[in-house]
Amino acid sequence: MSSKKVEFNKSLKDISDADLKAKIQEDELRLKKLEFAHAITPLENPVSIRSLRRDVARLKTELTKRALGV
């Protein structure tokens, strides 16, 4: 496990469900904008799209864990 991933997951523990949902929406919008910009003009660092997509997945996973009570 990378240290970034561990720190990211630890920081999610202190966030409320409403804030988590808001962050997911915000990041998904940012991801759409990045992908659109990349389609028009290739980004200098396309890996940023992958990392943002993974962050959104981590947020959704945390939200699902909370819903299931795990």
Percent of the chain past pLDDT 70, that is, above it, reads 97
Which fold does the domain 3-68 belong to in CATH? Helix Hairpins (1.10.287)
pLDDT of residue 1: 56
Q: How far apart are CA 61 and CA 27, in angstroms?
A: 14
> pTM of the entire structure?
0.84
pLDDT reported for residue 5: 77
> Where are the domains positioned within the chain?
3-68
CA distances to 10, 25, 53 from 34, rounded to whole Å, are: 26, 14, 11
Measured distance CA(56)–CA(70) in Å, rounded: 19
The pLDDT tens digits for 18-52 are 999 999 999 999 999 999 999 999 989 999 999 99
